[in-house]
Amino acid sequence: MPALASHRKPRPRVRSTTPAIGFTTAALASVTLLSTQSALAAPAPKPSIEDVQKKVDDLYRQAGTATQHYDQAKEASAKQRTEVDTLLDDIAQRADKLNDARRKLGNYAAAQYRDGALAPTATFFLANDPQSFFDQTHLMNRMATNQQQAVTDFRTKQAEASKKRAEAVTSLETLTTSQTRLRTSKQNVQDKLTEARTLLSKLTAEEKARLAELEQKKKDEARRKAAELAKKQADAKAEADRKAKEAGGGTGTGTGSGSGTGTGSGGSDSSATTKAGKVLAFARAQIGKPYVWGATGPSSYDCSGLTQAAWKAAGVSIPRTTWDQVNVGTRIATADLQPGDLVFFYDDISHVGIYKGDGMMIHAPKPGANVREESIYYMPIHGSVRPG
Per the annotation, the verdict on 303 as an active-site residue is yes
- Catalytic choice (69, 138, 303, 382): 303
- Catalytic choice (69, 138, 351, 382): 351
Per the annotation, the verdict on 363 as an active-site residue is yes
* Three-state secondary structure readout of the chain: CCCCCCCCCCCCCCCCCHHHHHHHHHHHHHHHHHHHHHHHHCCCCCCCHHHHHHHHHHHHHHHHHHHHHHHHHHHHHHHHHHHHHHHHHHHHHHHHHHHHHHHHHHHHHHHHHHHCCCCHHHHHHHCCCHHHHHHHHHHHHHHHHHHHHHHHHHHHHHHHHHHHHHHHHHHHHHHHHHHHHHHHHHHHHHHHHHHHHHHHHCCCHHHHHHHHHHHHHHHHHHHHHHHHHHHHHHHHHHHHHHHHHHHHCCCHHHHHHHHHHHHHHHHHHHHHHHHHHHHHHHHHHCCCCEECCCCECCCCECHHHHHHHHHHHCCCCCCCCHHHHCCCCEEECHHHCCCCCEEEECCCCCEEEEEEECCEEEECCCCCCECEEEEHHHCCEEEEEECC
- Catalytic choice (7, 69, 138, 363): 363
Pairwise CA distance, residues 387 & 367, whole Å: 26
Per the annotation, the verdict on 69 as an active-site residue is no
Instruction: Please list the active-site residues.
Output: 303, 351, 363
